[in-house]
Amino acid sequence: MTRTDPADVPFPNAQLHFGVFFQGVNHWTIWSDPSSGSQIDPESYRRVARAAERGLFDAFFLGEGLRLREVDGRIHDLDVAGRPDAITQLAALAAQTDRIGLVSTSNTTFNEPADLARRLSGLDLLSGGRAGWNVVTTDNAWTGANFRRGGYLDHADRYRRAERFLTVARAIWDGWSDDAVAGGTDAPYWSAPGSVARVREHGGQFDVDLAPTLPRSVQGHPVIFQAGDSAEGRDFAARNADVIFSAHGTEFDDALAFATDIRNRLRAAGRPADDLRILPGTEMIIGATEEDAREKARWVRFAQVTPATALNVAGLLWNIDLSDRDADGPLPAEDPVIVENTGAFGARRIADPRAVVAEWRAKAEANGWSLRETVIALGPQRGHVGTPSGLADKFARFARHGAVDGFNITPYLIPDGLDDIVDLLVPELQERGLYRTAYTGGTLREHLGLRPPLTHRHGAGRRAG
């Protein structure tokens, strides 16, 4: 690939922002390699966060799964499991890092705003303005079975609740005026009378009446991330988010189409098109030569999709327990069983299993693939494979055409999976003027180059002192 001439592109000064997504539940993190560390040892989190900070990343990011996944009542034990509460985990990391942002995925369906907003502002304050909140609505009834209300809401209600939830959270974060706390020991009050506003919200889904317990952090509010790909999710992001964690970062055309759609929605919501950063989740596999990188990717895929994982993934497509089959043998001869989506497991929601199985059969036959090879070739495709300079050129094109603002990187090895990226890719990006050479700010909002929180613009919402 030839280098992009910055003069010919719509965003010649684009900068890439990197986050690291430490995954908790997945089969993409290889746990079976001799270099693999524990998924639940705090030392693993610390090492990944410190590597990311060495690489001048914007953020360390955690997803949320409130329950171990199950299929037909059995724990889905191929997932790499073990997930402490994200805010607790990030609070520990706040003490072990200096600059990197700390982003918690926390859902609005099963939490309550008074509690979650307070915990997030605690993280924001304790970390010196480095907190982010990835707002999700969580797409399964099976998580809701853990909660008092039996917790599932339909899609539209989940987004309605999310919108109101965020409004209440922002009111809580704005409860203290800027001069609420005594400026010195000679002030007559520690907290001036009338400087803390009550937040009241009754009716609808919430019952809130409180005086917030904390002042704002130096970044104003935690940075709002959003992950959810439906039209409602995208509009919610356009109205509310600072960052979108998307699934559109592998193919250039798909990434650009997504970014264009989001920019249109932002304008429709009355916001400038550059008001939001788009960071797709992605994997990066780096080799010294293109051939090395391809060879490494092959190793990574076979380590990720073990025989047992292949049978499990195929079992979810066929809706048949295939655990006693041979993953290195042919595809199951049976037709898939069509079951109603119970909401019990996301992977069950394959829209037309018959069509997918027919495609898998045709391609497996044409290429002589085993079941495992078919799962690897035709299962979800992830990420970018190449040399440091090849990937830097590729990402320059993505960034300078406005297809992405960076990536939320999922390392396939814990805890050392970021080293190639930090040591080999980052310098190539820096050489192309695409990546910072030092942190210039202290807060997550500053790292991302964001404007003040939405409710603080034009004097709206923020209480005068």
Ligand X SMILES: Cc1cc2nc3c(=O)[nH]c(=O)nc-3n(C[C@H](O)[C@H](O)[C@H](O)COP(=O)(O)O)c2cc1C
Binding-site ranges for ligand X (CB under 6 A): 63-64, 105, 107, 136-139, 155, 227-230, 232-233, 245, 247, 281
* Cross-strand bridge partners of residue 381: none
The smaller minimum CB distance to ligand X, of residues 139 and 292, is found at: 139
The smaller minimum CB distance to ligand X, of residues 162 and 316, is found at: 162
Q: Taking the complex as a whole, how short is the minimal distance between the CB of residue 104 and ligand X, in angstroms?
A: 10
Quick one: which of 77, 95, 67 has its CA closest to 31? 77
Q: Taking the complex as a whole, how short is the minimal distance between the CB of residue 28 and ligand X, in angstroms?
A: 13
The smaller minimum CB distance to ligand X, of residues 180 and 244, is found at: 244
The smaller minimum CB distance to ligand X, of residues 136 and 404, is found at: 136
Q: Taking the complex as a whole, how short is the minimal distance between the CB of residue 312 and ligand X, in angstroms?
A: 20
Q: How far apart are CA 405 and CA 275, in angstroms?
A: 11
Distance of CA 102 to the CA centre of its chain: 12
Q: Taking the complex as a whole, how short is the minimal distance between the CB of residue 155 and ligand X, in angstroms?
A: 6
The smaller minimum CB distance to ligand X, of residues 67 and 451, is found at: 67
Six-digit token string for 26: 């997945």
The smaller minimum CB distance to ligand X, of residues 233 and 315, is found at: 233
The number of C-alpha atoms within 13 Å of 410 and in the hemisphere containing its C-beta is 25
Q: Taking the complex as a whole, how short is the minimal distance between the CB of residue 198 and ligand X, in angstroms?
A: 30
Q: How far apart are CA 216 and CA 86, in angstroms?
A: 21
The DSSP letter of residue 217 is B
Phi, psi for 11 (deg, rounded to 5): -125, 70
Q: Taking the complex as a whole, how short is the minimal distance between the CB of residue 71 and ligand X, in angstroms?
A: 17
State the SS3 of 67-114.
Answer: CCCEECCEECCCCCCCCCCHHHHHHHHHHHCCCCEEEEEEECCCCCHH
The smaller minimum CB distance to ligand X, of residues 345 and 439, is found at: 345
Torsion sign, CA atoms 226, 24, 310, 31: positive
Contacts of 317 (CB under 8 A, 6+ apart): 336, 350, 353, 356, 357, 360
State the amino acid at position 138 in one-letter form.
Answer: T
Q: Taking the complex as a whole, how short is the minimal distance between the CB of residue 90 and ligand X, in angstroms?
A: 14
Q: Taking the complex as a whole, how short is the minimal distance between the CB of residue 67 and ligand X, in angstroms?
A: 10
Q: How far apart are CA 44 and CA 344, in angstroms?
A: 30
State the amino acid at position 260 in one-letter form.
Answer: T
CA distances, 264 to each of 112, 279, 388 (Å):
31, 17, 33
Q: Taking the complex as a whole, how short is the minimal distance between the CB of residue 136 and ligand X, in angstroms?
A: 3
Three-state DSSP class for residue 208: strand
Q: How far apart are CA 218 and CA 212, in angstroms?
A: 17
Helix H or strand E encompassing 285:
strand 284-286
The smaller minimum CB distance to ligand X, of residues 223 and 310, is found at: 223
The smaller minimum CB distance to ligand X, of residues 247 and 424, is found at: 247
Q: Taking the complex as a whole, how short is the minimal distance between the CB of residue 172 and ligand X, in angstroms?
A: 22
The smaller minimum CB distance to ligand X, of residues 9 and 350, is found at: 350
Residue nearest to ligand X (CB): 233
Neighbours of 298 (CB within 10 A): 13
